Each structure stands twice: as structure tokens, then as C-alpha cells.
Amino acid sequence: MCGRYTLTVTLDELMVHFYSSLSGLVRHQPRFNISPSQTVLAVINDGVHNRIGPLKWGLIPSWSKDDKTALANARAETLKDKPAFKVPFARKRCLIPADSFFEWKKTEAGKQPMRIMLKSGKLFSMAGLYETWIAPDGQKINSCTIITTTANSLVAGIHHRMPVILSPQDEAVWLNRNIHDPEALMPLLKPFPAEEMKAYPVPSLVGNAKNDVPECIQQLAP
């Protein structure tokens, strides 16, 4: 499960990192508590260039009768078989930029939110899928889901799942529109090395999606 994450860098930093242009009018400010159903920034490749644009977090299958089916996460192990993900996995892959994600650790005092990130503190890419759903009135909703895999040894002490974090060299492979074979992509969907990550406790206010403030990433004393 990946139900909260952060993206605190600027839009210019995103464009430089992904060698990207903007897809239409894009507004962005640092985000400290991104949650499902919200609009998020994603990177896709149009066949020539990477483009950054907004997607709604919670994939709505193209064949869905309504917009009530919103899938925030997709398990890497079942992408090839699930009807909602089979076609996007082959043809509609994206990157979801982030600089940390949150999970809740069970303790004797209750559930403690933890911020999990790279030791370097740098931006990273979560593997995602996107889809376009057309409502009965003709309205188009472009949505996405974040792919999860088994937790590495660091995250396992907090939660049994984690988002698929792609290495920089794998980002281009994931976005390559000429690759449709699931077997060529499955090796990318593995846990990120635990030795390159760190985690620390943060305030409980991150549990409320309405709280999108810098205090959400404040490190608490152990």
C-alpha cells in the first residue's frame, strides 16, 4: 500500500530531472501530504519527449460504468492478469515523482507515521500506470495508480508493501512506448535497495489529508 507521499521540489527542478516539457498548463507548489483522489504530477513519454502533467490519483478503468472505482495502488505481482491494469501495463506507463512516502508503524503506543525516503534526500520515481475514462456526458478523466511490491528490509519493519521505486537507468525503459512485453518489464518491479533508504517518525497530523504543511515531514525524536 502507498497511500501518502510528498513532492517538495519546484516545477523547474522536476523539468530538469526528467528532461521534460509541460503538458498544458501545470501548476505546482511543494506538497507535504499527497493523498488518493487528489491531482498529482506524473511523467509520460509522447514517443519523443518526456512530458509532465496532472493526473487524478486513483485509476478508473476505461471500461468502468462510473467513476466510483478508483484504484490508488496496483500490485506488481498481478499486473499481467488484472483487467484494470493489463492494457495500461502494456501501453500506458508513467512515473510518479516523489521525495518520500509515508507508512504507519505499529507500536505499543499506537500507529506511528513514518517518513521513508532516500538517504540522499533526492527526488525519485515511483512506477505508475495511467488511463483515460470517458463519462456518459463525455467528460474525460485522466487517472493513475502507483505500483507496489514486497517491502525491502527497511520498510518491512513498518509495512509489508512499498511503492516500486525505479532506478534512474530504469526510468527510460519504463516510459519506452515501444516496449509492450510484460516479461521485459517485470524485472523492474522489485524492492528498492534498503541500504539506500532511511525512515524517521513524523507528527500524527499527516494522517489527515487536509494537512498539507511542512510540519508533516518534521522529524520527531525517537
Active site residues: 2, 103
- Strand intervals (E) in 8-154: 20-22, 31-34, 39-45, 50-57, 73-75, 93-98, 100-107, 110-118, 124-134, 140-150
Longest CA span, the chain:
52
Report the alpha-carbon angle 194-198-201, nearest 5.
135
Phi/psi-derived region of residue 215, left when phi > 0, alpha when psi is between -120 and 50, beta in every other case: alpha
Q: How far is CA 74 from CA 1, 83, 182, in A?
A: 9, 11, 15
In the chain, the N- to C-terminal Cα span, in Å, equals: 24
Are 32 and 192 within 8 A, CB to CB?
Answer: no
Please answer whether residues 11 and 51 qualify as being in contact, where contact means their C-beta atoms are separated by less than 8 angstroms.
no
Cell of 83: 483487467
